[in-house]
Structures are given as structure tokens and as C-alpha cells.
């Protein structure tokens, strides 16, 4: 390997949005993730209901043609 061309591989802290954090090794000193094994539904067994019905209805209302002129 060539010397002085590779990034430093150091201890990094990973922080989840739920507040859980752990240390690993990486070229970046810190990282933030949205989900981890502590809060992800696959690992916790919880089911989260995501209210997409409201968004779908809002989309349909916005893009439904109102019967007016098509100009």
C-alpha cells in the first residue's frame, strides 16, 4: 500500500435519533442514523401505523381535475 494516501481509521461514535449510541471504527469521527436495532420495528416487535391515508387523500384532492377548462 502507498503511504499517506489512506484516511485515518479511528474510533467513531454512532448516534441514533432515539438516543442510543455506540462506538465502532470508521474514517468519520461521528455519524447520525435514523433507526437502529433498539428502535427499529423489526427488532422490537412493535408495529407502527403510518397514516398515509391522509396524504393520499390530500394528493387526490390536489390533482383531481375539477371539471374546469383544460388550459
30 near 13, Cβ under 8 Å? yes
66/47 Cα distance (integer angstroms): 38
Q: Does the 10-63 domain belong in CATH 3.40.50.720?
A: no
29 near 48, Cβ under 8 Å? no
Q: pLDDT for 55-69, tens place per residue? A: 888 888 889 876 555
Q: Where are the domains of the chain?
A: 10-63
Question: Which of residues 70 and 64 earns the better pLDDT score?
Answer: 64
Q: pLDDT for 20-61, tens place per residue? A: 999 999 999 999 998 888 888 777 777 766 566 778 888 888
Amino acid at each position: 500500500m502507498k503511504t499517506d494516501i489512506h484516511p485515518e481509521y479511528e474510533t467513531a461514535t454512532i448516534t441514533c435519533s432515539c438516543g442510543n449510541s455506540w462506538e465502532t471504527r470508521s474514517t468519520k469521527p461521528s455519524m447520525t442514523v435514523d433507526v437502529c436495532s433498539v428502535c427499529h420495528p423489526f427488532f422490537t416487535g412493535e408495529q407502527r401505523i403510518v397514516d398515509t391515508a391522509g396524504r393520499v387523500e390530500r394528493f387526490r384532492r390536489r390533482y383531481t381535475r375539477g371539471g374546469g377548462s383544460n388550459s
